[in-house]
Amino acid sequence: MMLSLRELYKIGRGPSSSHTMGPERAAKDFLSRTEGAARYRVVLQGSLARTGKGHLTDRAVLGVLPEEKTQVVFDYDTRELLHPNTLVMTAYDESGREMLSVTYLSVGGGTIREAGSAPVAAENVYPFANFSELRAYCEKEKIELADVVFRFEDKSFRDYLAEVWESMKATIARGLAQEGVLPGNLRVERKAATLQSAYLDAPTDHTRLVCSYAYATAEENASGGVVVTAPTCGASGVLPATMLYLQRRDGLSDEQIWRALATGGIVGNVVKTNASVSGAEAGCQAEIGTATAMAAAAVCSLAAHSLEITEYAAEIALEHQLGLTCDPVGGYVQIPCIERNAVAAMRAIDSADLASVLSGTRKISFDLVVRTMYETGRDLNERYRETSEGGLASGYKVC
């Protein structure tokens, strides 16, 4: 069973779906269950504690729970957790007695789960467990992946995808219009406008254009702007960059883009259902790797490629990011994240092209590479899973 793509594509503020959107949702859920509470205590654990300051997790929680009544604690010590992104919320009444305590897990892409229960406010709409079941259904019904999405989602889902696409384009437009330095002490300069100017100087160099769109979204995310999780905030630049580039290059309709978003979305859903899209759980391969697979499949949809080519493109895109670590410098979603979105957007387009040429020679299924990604992620040392304790995050020294 798979959840609705509304759970995958969420419109909200960055910089991190699991560190800001998830905790914000958890706080809203907890607030609605604790009417009349006199005091709140929120304990952030695991990656939420270690990179929570840079990711603005405390601000996300305090934007919902009454700030004057809420204590946020960063628990750096507890290691045995149900999930690397855990937060414990407790409410007390006037006499100091505990009213309710809930452990929430922010499992990636802004989705939250209460410990020991099903995802909050989520709905299973697809009767498929993995890509091979999806593929068998498409072949039996003689339909495309996008048709499966529109068949199983509700009637207003097309409108929802239209809203998602408008939001993606608006984010790119805002990002291209900004210059200056991103928030935080890394003093990272915005580069989207520079890349766009470089393209205008040499309009045959399309790489610069794709990258400018990816930078625009990733920079907006890093500054706490509104983005669409695809599948996460940190990886939100890959899919929109490829879509806008191809729409403008080939004069494609919005309807074609919606179908491509549906195709990429169901591919992301397969990963989210069978593995993880959380950098804290499985490294950056789970975020950027999944985003690249989604974008590669979406590119195939725009090119009207077959299901075989689409699966191959998604598989190539994810397979060659196996082992990709998550090591955000200073806990900010900036280095290596922003540049990585641009590199991934180029890779998605190349993966689709490679698959179209080599169609029929594939040995590895998408399901196998998803399983392998998850196993690899679980084997990654914790230092490389969004703790900012290893890799670039430990090697780079802020001046």
Q: Which residues bind ligand SF4 (CB under 6 A)?
A: 234-235, 279, 284, 287-288, 326, 328, 333, 336-337, 340, 386
C-beta closer to ligand SF4: residue 247 or 276? 276
Could you tell me the smallest distance in angstroms from the CB atom of residue 373 to ligand SF4? 13
Q: How far is the CB of 368 from ligand SF4 (least distance, A)?
A: 22
Cβ of residue 354: shortest distance to ligand SF4, in angstroms?
A: 23
Q: In this complex, which beta carbon is closest to ligand SF4, that of residue 108 or of residue 265?
A: 108
Report residue 340 CA to chain centroid gap. 13
Question: Is the backbone peptide bond immediately before 23 cis, with ω within 30 degrees of 0?
Answer: no
Torsion of CA 324, 168, 268, 148, to 10 degrees: -160
- Which is nearer to ligand SF4, 186 or 284 (by Cβ)? 284
Residue nearer to ligand SF4 on the CB measure, 278 or 310: 278
Looking at the Cβ atoms of 10 and 340, the one nearer to ligand SF4 is: 340
User: Whose CA is closest to 224, among 31, 21, 85?
Assistant: 21
C-alpha to C-alpha distance for 114 and 105, rounded to whole angstroms? 6
Closer by beta carbon to ligand SF4, 125 or else 291: 291
Q: Which is nearer to ligand SF4, 277 or 300 (CB)?
A: 277
Shortest reach from residue 357's CB to ligand SF4, in Å: 29
Element holding 240 (H helix, E strand):
helix 238-250
Cis ω on the peptide bond leading into residue 15 (within 30° of 0)? yes
**Cβ atoms 123, 130 nearer than 8 A:** no
What are φ and ψ of residue 265, in 5° steps?
A: -65, -40
Q: In sequence order, what are the residues at sequence separation of 6 or more whose Cβ sits closer than 8 angstroms to the Cβ of residue 252? A: 246, 302
CB of 18 to ligand SF4, least distance (A): 9
- The rounded distance, in Å, linking the Cα atoms of 399 and 397 is 6
Task: Measure the CA dihedral 212/216/222/225, to 10°.
Answer: -170
Distance in Å, CB of 82 to ligand SF4, minimum: 20
Taking residue 283's Cβ as centre, other Cβ atoms within 10 Å add up to: 30
- Using CA atoms, how far apart are residues 54 and 102, in angstroms rounded to an integer? 24
Measured from the CB atom, is 231 or 264 closer to ligand SF4? 231
Closest contact distance (angstroms) between CB of 189 and ligand SF4 is 18
Q: Is 323 left (phi over 0), alpha (psi -120 to 50) or beta?
A: left
Q: Minimum Å distance from CB 292 to ligand SF4?
A: 11
